[in-house]
């Protein structure tokens, strides 16, 4: 199953409390919560390039399954991660004590990030 495609954010759960826990300023949280978000994913075998455009902010990351890569998080911080693939439709990694899971089901991508007992869930559809 290929992740390649463009996906538009349909809805998200717990965005505000999760961003507060990450330490984002309140004005950025309020600006970001209602912005349209488009994710573009290009998969070439085990190599991925993701570009997430939210309003005027663009975050581009590249990683290869099973290899250490540096990625930029939602709050702008750059961190080193190793992304693993489970089955043929789940990307899983641990980022600074948070578990990140990206799951593709048909034309829907569900991105779940868990930190302690707080979970951010973002659901996007292929466009």
Confidence band (pLDDT; 50, 70, 90) for 55? confident
Give the count of domains, the chain: 1
Integer Cα distance of 119 and 84 in angstroms? 20
12-27: string of b/e by CB count within 10 Å (b at 16+)?
A: beebeebbeebebeee
11: containing domain: 5-126
Q: Of how many residues is the chain composed?
A: 127
Residue tagged 């199953």 (tokens): 1
Instruction: Give Cα 66 to chain centroid, integer Å.
Output: 17
Q: What percent of the chain has pLDDT over 90?
A: 76
The stretch 23-38 carries a mean pLDDT of 88
Integer Cα distance of 93 and 90 in angstroms? 10
Higher per-residue confidence, 36 vs 109 = 109
pLDDT surpasses 80 at 71? yes
pLDDT surpasses 80 at 74? no
Q: Which of 5, 3, 4 lies closest to 126, judged by CA?
A: 5
Q: What is the pLDDT of residue 35?
A: 86
**Domain containing residue 109: CATH number:** 2.40.128.20
Q: Which of 21, 20, 1 lies closest to 106, judged by CA?
A: 1
Q: What is the pLDDT of residue 23?
A: 85
Q: What is the pLDDT of residue 28?
A: 85
Q: What is the pLDDT of residue 56?
A: 85
């Amino acid at each position: 199953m290929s992740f390649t495609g463009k996906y538009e954010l349909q809805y998200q759960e717990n965005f505000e409390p999760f961003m507060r826990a990450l330490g984002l300023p309140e004005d950025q949280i309020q600006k970001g919560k209602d912005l349209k978000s488009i994710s573009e994913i290009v998969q070439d075998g085990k190599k991925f390039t993701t570009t997430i455009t939210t309003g005027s902010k663009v975050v581009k990351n590249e990683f290869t399954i099973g290899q250490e890569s540096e990625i930029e998080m939602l709050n702008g911080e750059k961190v080193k991660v190793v992304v693993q693939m489970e089955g043929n439709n789940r990307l899983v990694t641990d980022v600074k004590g948070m578990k990140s899971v990206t799951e593709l089901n048909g034309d829907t991508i569900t991105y779940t990030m868990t930190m302690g007992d707080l979970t951010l869930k973002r659901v996007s559809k292929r466009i």
